[in-house]
Amino acid sequence: MKFGILILEGPYQHEASDSAYQFAKAAVEKGHEILRVFFYQDGVLNSTKLMEPQADDRHVQKMWSQFAADTGTEFIVCVAAAKRRGINDDVIADGFKIGGLGMLTELAIEADRVVTFRA
């Protein structure tokens, strides 16, 4: 099955990003394909390399960047939501790229299922 993932929450406000990561990881392990992960609204905060969690806390951005490197999954950060939150090409982490809502529309057309993670 081809999945699309939409993340609407930041990395530390709720469990949405963690749940999406676990879902994506499990789906790939079961042989499914993740076509694209689209970060929208506060979800764009997952993409910034400026986050510095405490040493004993998980580093959500690094988890996602490693997943992208391991699987080749495309991570798109909504340009409008990113600009509203001060995120641009200078602060975006490896594995993420900025794109528009048209890419979310394409994902909805191409994927068998789009799974949304929010609070």
Q: Is the dihedral of CA 89, 91, 94, 95 positive or negative?
A: negative
Q: Which domain holds residue 105?
A: 2-117
Known catalytic membership, residue 78: yes
Catalytically annotated residue among 7, 20, 60, 78: 78
Residue 30 pLDDT exceeds 90: yes
Choose among 54, 56, 40, 57: nearest CA to 102: 40
pLDDT digits (tens, 9 = 90+) for 53-75: 898 888 999 999 999 999 999 99
Domain count, the chain: 1
pLDDT digits (tens, 9 = 90+) for 64-106: 999 999 999 999 999 999 999 999 999 999 999 999 999 999 9
b/e per residue 79-98 (b: at least 16 CB within 10 A): bebbeebebeeeebbebbeb
Q: 50: which 2 tokens?
A: 């400026």
pLDDT given at position 57: 87
* Share of residues in the chain with pLDDT > 90 (%): 92
pTM of the predicted model, to two decimals?
0.95
Residue 57 belongs to domain with CATH number:
3.40.1260.10
pLDDT digits (tens, 9 = 90+) for 108-119: 999 999 999 998
